[in-house]
Each structure stands twice: as C-alpha cells, then as structure tokens.
Amino acid sequence: MSVPMKRHPSSKAGRRRSHLALKPVFLAKCPQCGRAVKPYQACAFCGFYKGRTAVKVKIKKEKKSKKA
C-alpha cells in the first residue's frame, strides 16, 4: 500500500522548479542574407554556413487564392 503524500512548503516547490524557467534563445545574424539564425547551424533561408553554401534550400511556391 502506498504512503500518502506530505504537504511541502511553497518555497521547497519553488526551489525544485527553479531550473524550469525558459531561457532566452541567442540568435546570430546570417552573413549572407542578414536574417536571424541559431549559431553553428546553416541558415534555413539561404543555406549559408562557414563562408559557403552548405545546404540547398527549396523555394516554396505561393498558393493561389481561390476567388469565386
């Protein structure tokens, strides 16, 4: 049979949850297109990384709007 839980003070719960806060995401500037990207990752918009094109980026087609 399980043991009933004891009540914990709010300060103890706060200390336990202290590491759960969201941390700000650092974004660097892409040297090729100037958009904000994560550091040490290829740019998702132009595929540029470390002075060269590392990834081929597919161009998205615009959707045609249906007008009746």
Question: pLDDT averaged over consecutive 10-residue blocks of the chain (68 residues)?
Answer: 85 92 90 87 83 73 72
pLDDT reported for residue 17: 93
How many CB atoms within 10 Å of residue 31? 13
- Which CA distances in Å does 59 have to 7, 31, 44, 46, 54? 57, 20, 11, 10, 16
